[in-house]
Structure 1
Amino acid sequence: MTLLRHARLLLLGSLLVATPLLAGQALAEATPPRELHVQAEDTLAVVPDRATLNARLWERTPAVSQEDESGGDPQALREARERLEERAGELIRTLEAAGLERDAISAGSLAVQPEHVAGSRREDGEREVRVRTRLERPFRVQVDDLEQLPGLLDALTEAGVNALDGVTYDLADRDAATDEALVKALEKARHKARLMADTLGITLGPVASVSETRSPVFQPRMLAMAADAREGAPQAEYRPGTIDIEAGVSVSWEIE
């Protein structure tokens, strides 16, 4: 009986010692770590260093009656295409003479589409419907030196393009710009955290978590214009302005 009683006392003592330890561990696990959460957004304004010009050339065949079952004159279609190809070649030579490399000039595929035009009135008072064919080729010109832009726009209009669809300003290194925007957002988050810690009299520990709330997105800037944009302005200025890249982050620091 003495040995059994001694064993019971030892077991009871062990339980009394272990219970506070287990309770303290459970309390520590139930208490969330103290953290400072900060969200920050920043915008990077960058000046474009590249531009893309979009232009179109087209030719049309003579309009024929819609009731003409022949579908138009094959000879007229062939002549319109020859005129278009001749103008396209002249456009490329004009751009090269203006200082552009051939690799920077991209000529798109030939597009052929019918166009309906109103003709003269018939005896019954109805207006005749006539059909012609339009042959079109788009051109894309990449400009890596923005100082060339005014001269190239002049060259396009002098070459007789039918439409200038505008200028798209871009960056040669988009990744570097988006990285810089993200760095600015992170630096702003760190500044806010330090300011809050100093004001509240707390000490920041290591970073507990970090995530993006707004991924940096680069959107090229489009400048629309008409084919006659240079009329009345022999030396017009084309200012690219700036492109805004926004980034946002959420960062948490442990509080010591």
Structure 2
Amino acid sequence: MRALTLVVALLLASPVLAESEAFITVSGEANVVTAPDMATLSLGAKERGKDPITAMNGTSAVLESVIARLRAQGVEERDIQTSSLRLNRLARWDRDKDVEVFEGFEASNILTIRVKDLSRLSAVLAAVLEDGANSLSNLSWGVQNPQVLEDEARRRAVKDAMAKAALYADAAGVDLGPVISIRDTADPMVQTSMHRDAPMLEAMAADVPVAAGEIEATARVTMVFEIAR
């Protein structure tokens, strides 16, 4: 009996223990769209030769001209990087003679470049064609300062979540209390255009037409609000 009396006394002395806290949990989302101001792509040269040195020298000569042209077109040194350097032995199987037929070597030297003046992108692509580049791939679009785009999307996502929380509270006939937690649930935020492998440059002529489209940043948040009493 004494134990039961003690429990009842504690509950009466601490009303907080007798009622559970109440919350509203909502999610907010926002998309912010802008035009890209930067392009990233891979370009370079593939050459064949009867021996490794001949094949590699062929690509080296082309790449020297390509790099010089890129600099002349305003592409900065820090925006030019060798991303792939390969040398492969070439051979085929002669089924009639049942022997391997050696066909030489193929070397490839590929650069990844960033073009930050999109008004010159078409001219840059045409220029490297003239200098012997015969490989182009992985063209993608981006923004030089994604932080600005991402932060705006975050702000809008929070506003969206707060508007939902206020709506739900009003519909339920309760008062919305302070924010308890905010959790960022978007990853990745900035979505670039779909990667497309471009055709071989040797099949192109004059300036190469390109369409940049749009860049989109998506933010998602989950927010928890206390229900005021």
The two structures share one fold, judged by TM-score above 0.5: yes
Classify the secondary structure of the residue corresponding to 2:120: helix
RMSD, matched Cα? 3.0
Cα distance, 1:207 vs. partner? 1.6
Cα distance in 1 for partners of 2:70, 2:46 equals: 18
Instruction: Give 2:54's aligned residue.
Output: 79
Letter aligned with residue 190 of structure 1: M
Residue in 2 aligned with 1:249? Answer: 222
Q: 2:151 aligns with which of 179, 184, 187?
A: 179
Q: Is the CA contact (8 Å cut-off) linking 2:55 and 2:105 kept in structure 1?
A: no
1:249 positional shift? 1.7
Question: 1:23 corresponds to which residue?
Answer: 11
Match of 2:33 among 29, 41, 45: 45
Residue 98 (structure 1) aligned with residue 70 (structure 2): no
Q: Larger radius of gyration, structure 1 or 2?
A: 1
Partner amino acid for 1:162?
A: N
1:218 to 1:242, Cα distance in 2 relative to 1, 3 A: closer
CA apart distance, 1:32: 0.9
Cα distance, 1:25–1:158 mapped onto 2, change above 3 Å:
farther
TM score, norm. by length of structure 1: 0.73
- Which residue matches 1:89? 64
- Which consecutive unaligned segments of at least 5 residues does structure 2 have? none
Answer yes or no: is the 8 Å Cα contact 2:33–2:216 preserved in 1.
yes
**C-alpha displacement of 1:228:** 4.0
Task: Write the distance in 2 (CA, Å) between the matches of 1:210 and 1:143.
Answer: 37
Query: Which residue of structure 1 aligns with residue 164 of structure 2?
Result: 192
TM-superposed CA distance for 1:50, in Å, is 1.5
- The sequence identity of aligned pairs, in percent, is 25
For normalisation by structure 2, the TM-score amounts to: 0.80
Aligned counterpart, 2:197 = 224
How is 1:103-122 mapped onto 2 (pairs within 5 angstroms)? 103-108=78-83, 110-117=85-92
* Distance (Å, rounded) in 2 between the aligned partners of 1:232 and 1:90: 18
SS at match of 2:190: coil
1:67 corresponds to: none
1:197 and 1:59 map into 2 onto residues whose CA distance is 68
